[in-house]
Structure 1
Amino acid sequence: MRRADRLFQIVQALRGGRLVTAQALAEKLEVSTRTIYRDIADLQSTGVPIDGEAGVGYVMEAGYDLPPLMFTKPEITALVAGARLIRAFGGAEMAGAAEEALIKIGAVLPEDARDRAARVQVHAIGWRMSDDLRVQIDRLERAAERGLRLSFSYTDQNGAATQRVVRPLGLWFWGASWTLVGWCELRDDFRMFRLDRMDAVEEGARFKPERGKRLQDFYRMMEARGDRP
């Protein structure tokens, strides 16, 4: 659990004015009591009204709530526009998550900021996105995140088909098409594959990052060539 999430959970646990021990918090959040003591001290230093002491327990002043999220107008525009783009052109799970994110953003913003979000005039329609492509995007993203080799048939722009085994590193969206960037074990080099030219994709064994075959190595290669992925 990220520290920011843990601090939020501590505030939630103390809400309502009830006494909670550091040991109970530590067991709930699966950390040491020393970590809880440090987190409580940090929350107190930022103005969260928590009273109590080690060995006794902690209680938070009734009625306290976390301050609302504050974003500038350009930040709100970027958040809403980005979520709409992912909803239109992302994978199936991504699109659903983007829809949920828009709902949550609207729920936690102050009223004036919520009105600004509703007035963002950036829209996207994923009319070229088939259900199969959306599912494939999610699948390839998970394979890259989990470090799973992929085997598939690939047809290039000239119509030639080859069988590939690739270490997936990431996905790029170009506005008209999605591509997979990976280390191709057939070519022993980095390659980019258009998703609409991949067929019969199968997951294989896990791979470990190796120097010269990682995403940062791909970026360095592109920069050295003066290209941009």
Structure 2
Amino acid sequence: MTRTDRLVTLINLLRDGALHRAQDLATRLDVSVRTIYRDMDRLFASGVPVQGTPGTGYRMADTIALPPLHLAPAELDALHLGIAIVSEAADPDLQAAAQALAHKIDQALPTETIAEADAWKTALSPMADAARGLSHMTSLRSAIAGRQKLRLSYREPNSDLSHRTIRPIRLESWGRVWLLTAWCETCGDFRDFRLDLIEAAMPLPELFTDEPGKRLVDRPA
């Protein structure tokens, strides 16, 4: 398992809201506890809202406040994506502005919530740029709301291109990691797809309804 795949796996494990000991995570992923500590530092630096310290355990924070404002998760998603995109712009003035904005946000948010300003450009490298999946965002959100199946062309982490029929269930981001959770009819199981690896997402004429075993609540923790 590559480091990037391991980080995404950690995010999936932590988002159940429970407290996870580093030793348990290390056993689950077949790595050392020191590796888990380094991975957690990486997640902290990427803006993933993980809470915890070595020796106490880790959990995913479910609310993020920006005093005196309270941000909904979708609003923070938009903020994350906007800063990430502008940070990678060719215009040095825009890059500087994005870094300055990230620094101001960093000063306002709780320390465990957001990265240092420089981390917005490098978080979770070598993942592809954060803007790549933006072109699919509207169609993915529409398919989730309309319960519409999609034909997904997906570049696997090993670079193989796969074609799948999926039932899109949830779209979310953790720091700069954008994930689409879906029931994959091709493999007959739940899958998390990185938006930066989606080549195409074609809406199909077929709609789907909730079925036991294929709903988000049925996904194993």
- Name the TM-score, length of structure 2 as normaliser: 0.46
Q: If each structure's helix is expressed as a fraction of its own residues, which one has the higher value? A: 1
TM-score (norm 1): 0.44
Over alpha carbons, which structure has the higher Rg? 1
